[in-house]
Amino acid sequence: MSELSNKSIVLASRPVGEPTAKDFRLETSSVAPLKDGEVLIKTLYLSLDPYMRGRMSAAKSYADPVAIGDVMVAETAGIVVDSRSDNYVVGDYVCCRAGWQEYFVSHHKDPMTYKVDPGKVPLSTYLGVCGMPGRTAYFGLIREGKPVAGETLVVSAASGAVGSVVGQIGKKLGLYVVGIAGGEKKCAYVKDELGFDECVDYKSDNFGSALKTACPNGIDIYFESVGGAVTEAVAKQFNSGARAPICGYIASYNATDITKERTPFHIFGELKNPPEHKFFLVFDHYPDFAEANSALTKWVASGEIKYQETVGEGLEMAPEYFSWLFSGKNFGKLVVKVADE
C-alpha cells in the first residue's frame, strides 16, 4: 500500500477551565509501512467522552495525562485497510484506541483492539450503548448499585450515554426509576421513549421539590454522574442502606482547581447516615466484559434497550463537539463520523 497521509488532533496546551480551540492542533503526518503483526485501521467513528477532560490535565489520576504534542486519546470504531497479521483481514471491523486521528497502526496482540460485527448492531453503537458506556452502566448498576426489585433508583445525566442504559436496565430489574436530565425535551425522551417512571429537569426552579415528588419512597440507589447542585438535592432524600455508585461528576471536570471542588465524596461524607459510596471504574470489571457485551448487544438488537446518538461530522470539529458534553448540547452518545468506508 502506498504511503498514506494521516490527520490527527494533538493536545497543544493544558486547558485552564473549559477547553478552547487553542488547546488543540491539527497535524498531518504519514503512516509508516506496516511491520509483521501490525494492522492498519481507518477510523470511521471517534468516541468523545467526559473522561478525556481529565487526560488533558497534568493532575495524577487513574490514568496518565496526554503529553503536550501527543494525539488526544479516544476509542474509535474503524475498518482494517491493511494487515500483516493472520488475525485480521482487510475489511474487518474493529474497535481500538486510535485517538483523535484518521489512521491507526495496531498490533494484533493489543488487547484494546478487537473485532466487532456491524451486522448485529450499528458500528457506532460499539462506542456507546454496546461499548464502554454501556458496560459502565451494566456493571455500575448491577455490581456497584446492588439493586433489589421494588427499590427506587435515581439516575443523573439520564438521557446520556451511560445514564440512559442505567435506567433501562433498572426497569428490567424491577426498579422504580427516576431520571434527572437538563431540559423538557431530554426529560420527555427519558420518560416517554426510554420508559423511566419519571424524569426531573434539574434546570427548573423547583428541581428539589420535583425530585421529592418523583421519589415518594425516598432514594435507595443513586447513580452518580454529575455532582454539584444535583447531588446536593439527591443527598437530602436517601433511605437508610442506600447505595450511590460514583461513576463521575462532570460538573467539576472544568474546574480550574479540582482540589477546591465540593465533590460527591464531600456531600455524601457529611451526611449523618451516608449511602454506601465509592468511585468505580468500568475497567474494574474487565474480566467480565464479555458478559456485558453479550447482554447489551442482544438487548439493542432486539430493541429492548433504546439509544440516542449525536453524530458530529469531521475530525477537525472534534474539539468543538467535545465541549458539547459540558453544555448538554449532545443528546445521547456523542460520536464523530470521521470518514466513510
Ligand X SMILES: NC(=O)c1ccc[n+]([C@@H]2O[C@H](COP(=O)([O-])OP(=O)(O)OC[C@H]3O[C@@H](n4cnc5c(N)ncnc54)[C@H](OP(=O)(O)O)[C@@H]3O)[C@@H](O)[C@H]2O)c1
**Among 50, 131, 167, 264, which residue sits at the site for ligand X (rule: CB under 6 A)?**
50
Q: Is 95 in the site for ligand X (CB under 6 A)?
A: no
Residue closest to ligand X, measured at CB: 160
Cα radius of gyration (the chain): 20
Residues in Cβ contact with 311 at an 8 Å cutoff, skipping those fewer than 6 apart? 45, 124, 335, 336, 337
- Span interacting with ligand X, options 9-17, 111-119, 222-230, 298-306, rule CB under 6 A: 222-230
Compute the least distance from the CB of residue 231 to ligand X, in Å: 9
Nearer to ligand X, 225 or 293 (CB): 225
Q: Does 133 bind ligand X (CB under 6 A)?
A: yes
Residue 19 interacts with ligand X (CB under 6 A): yes or no: no
Residue 71 contacts ligand X per CB under 6 A = no
Does residue number 231 form part of the binding site for ligand X (CB under 6 A)? no
The alpha-helical segments, DSSP class H, found in the chain are: 51-55, 132-139, 163-172, 184-188, 207-214, 228-235, 264-269, 289-302, 318-327
Please report whether residue 52 would count as binding ligand X according to CB under 6 A: no
CB of 163 to ligand X, least distance (A): 5
273 class by beta-carbon count within 10 Å (0-12 exposed, 13-18 middle, 19+ buried):
exposed
Q: Site for ligand X (CB under 6 A): which residue of 225, 237, 293, 297?
A: 225
289 binds ligand X (CB under 6 A): no
Please choose, from the candidates 321, 304, 327, 236, the residue with its C-alpha nearest in 3D space to the C-alpha of residue 45. Answer: 321
For the CA atoms of 281, 165, 52, 58, the dihedral, rounded to the nearest 10 degrees, stands at: -30
Q: Is residue 226 involved in binding ligand X (CB under 6 A)?
A: yes
Query: Between residues 116 and 335, which has the closer beta carbon with respect to ligand X?
Result: 335
**Cβ proximity of 153 and 220 under 8 Å:** yes
> Nearest CA to 264 among 254, 281, 252, 273?
252
Burial (Cβ within 10 Å: 0-12, 13-18, ≥19) of residue 25: middle
Nearer of residues 157 and 169 to ligand X, judged by Cβ: 157
In angstroms, give the least distance from the CB of 173 to ligand X: 19
Beta carbon of residue 238, minimum distance to ligand X (angstroms, whole number): 19
Told to check if 328 binds ligand X by CB under 6 A, we report yes
Nearest to 334 by CA among 200, 177, 157: 157
Question: Least Å distance between CB 29 and ligand X?
Answer: 29
245 contacts ligand X (rule: CB under 6 A): no
Q: Which of 94, 121, 194, 325 binds ligand X (CB under 6 A)?
A: 325
Q: Which of residues 157-186 bind ligand X (CB under 6 A)?
A: 157, 159-163, 181-182, 186
- Please report whether residue 49 would count as binding ligand X according to CB under 6 A: yes
DSSP 31: P
Q: Which stretch binds ligand X (CB under 6 A): 30-38, 80-88, 110-118, 275-283?
A: 275-283
Question: Positive or negative CA dihedral for 130, 296, 113, 56?
Answer: positive
